[in-house]
Amino acid sequence: MKNNYPEILLEIVKSAFLEKEESRILELLIKENNPDLLNKQIIFNGLRPAASFAFKKAKVSESDFEYLNKYNDFAQRQAFLNLGYTQLIKGLFRDFQNLGIRVIPYKGILFSNTIFDNKVIRESGDMDLLVYPEDAGKALEYFFSNDYEFDLFNDEFKFSDKDEIITAILASKGKYEQAFNKNGLHIDLHWGLNYGFMPYKVDYLSFFENFTEKSNQVLSVIPSVETIFWMVILHHGGKEIWVKQKHLIDLMAFLRKYSEELDWEKQINLSKEYKLYKILITGFYLIKKLYDFPVPEIIEKHFHIINLNQIDRILDYHCYSKNWNTLFARLRYEKVLINNQDEGFSIRKYVFEIYKEYSIPNPLEHGRFISFPEKYRFLNFISKIITYGIKKMF
């Protein structure tokens, strides 16, 4: 690990999540000479509820760290939001069942309810649902018809009627997600699990198999343990390349609760089939390196594939702490992503798939300065790149 990695981020996780009794948090905060940067890093890494808990445990006062009360307020709001989502998801699952829409919870609310047992330590801001692709149209229709707010960033579609918008959304190449809002709650509806240009081969339709139905629980449908594991690996590793400590906390929480329930040799073989082998091993390597968290012995035997330069790039991004919605952050993120792919990954093919996706305007993208007729794909691609470069420069 590089010497400039902020040790206090590790101490927060060890104290709040790994339940370490003694910590150096107060000592490190007193020595901290850039509280604004530390605040930025804590927010980016998704550690505010954990920091609230750890700082209270360490008897930190606001004079020790000026952002303390903001974290406490955030943790309290998080608890109220979780209650709101609990009520919302019960109604949604009931309505979807009545409409014949196949749906399972995904990411945040699922992880909070299963691997964290509803403890308010995991930072989350929305609720994710995964619907069977064939049912995506019915799910979109439900949200559009029940007073949910949504954004279409591309002005080309703002005067289209509901049916035209749904048709255009479902036809959008490589786009499988739409956000909705209602009464201060945010829902992300998914009917696919990664961008079309990603190389991963996960059979996410299998996620709809082997789930448990519990009508009297917060979540009436709970996917299998193996499905939850691959949700963690695919999203936190495959999509976000472990660049937030929040991702690693989820992985550790899963292992602490379910490690004995999985056949790890099978998971390694699946990771190679899914093109997520290096990403899987990297996640396990990071939790062992950063927190000395125990990992399955068979996983540890694969640590020899790890390139320490790539690990440093991930740890550097923890410190850099900028979302990849600006140009320079995106370029830095892409470098991490490209260098953590399995053998056989083709940068040329990856770029070509991005070209294909960006060459056709769709309602789920931020609009371009100029949109050409669909047949002029190269011009649309150039327009997209120029628009992105100017809008996302900073």
Cα R_g (the chain), whole angstroms = 21
Q: Which two tokens stand for residue 53?
A: 């808990």
Q: What is the predicted pLDDT for the residue at 129? A: 93
Q: Which stretches within 45-67 are classed as H helix?
A: 48-57
Q: How far apart are CA 131 and CA 102, in angstroms?
A: 6
Q: Would you place residue 382 in the very low, low, confident or very high pLDDT band (cuts 50, 70, 90)? A: confident
The pTM for the full model equals 0.90
Q: At what angle do helices 7-16 and 35-44 cross, to 10 degrees?
A: 50
Q: How far apart are CA 273 and CA 202, in angstroms?
A: 8
The residues, any chain, with a CB within 8 Å of residue 215's CB and separated by 6 or more, are none
Mean pLDDT of the chain: 88
Q: What is the predicted pLDDT for the residue at 151? A: 75
Does 216 have pLDDT greater than 80?
no
Q: How far apart are CA 49 and CA 56, in angstroms?
A: 11
Q: How far apart are CA 208 and CA 203, in angstroms?
A: 10
Identify the bridge partners of residue 352 per DSSP, sorted by sequence position: none
Q: What is the DSSP string of 298-345?
A: HHHTTGGG--HHHHHHHHHHHHH---TTSHHHHHHHHHHHHTTSPTT-
> What pLDDT, in 10s, does the model give residues 68-124?
999 999 999 888 888 888 888 888 988 999 999 999 988 888 888 888 876 778 888
Q: At what angle do helices 7-16 and 245-258 cross, to 10 degrees?
A: 30
Does 215 have pLDDT greater than 70?
no
> What pLDDT, in 10s, does the model give residues 29-62?
988 889 999 999 999 999 999 999 999 999 999 9
Higher pLDDT, 168 or 130: 130
Does 282 have pLDDT greater than 80?
yes
Q: How far apart are CA 304 and CA 320, in angstroms?
A: 27
Q: How far apart are CA 49 and CA 69, in angstroms?
A: 11
Higher pLDDT, 3 or 182: 182
Q: How far apart are CA 133 and CA 139, in angstroms?
A: 10
Q: What is the predicted pLDDT for the residue at 392? A: 65
In the block, residue with structure tokens 């990695």: 5
> What pLDDT, in 10s, does the model give residues 317-365?
999 999 888 888 989 999 999 999 999 999 999 888 888 878 877 766 6
> What pLDDT, in 10s, does the model give residues 130-153?
999 999 999 999 999 998 988 766
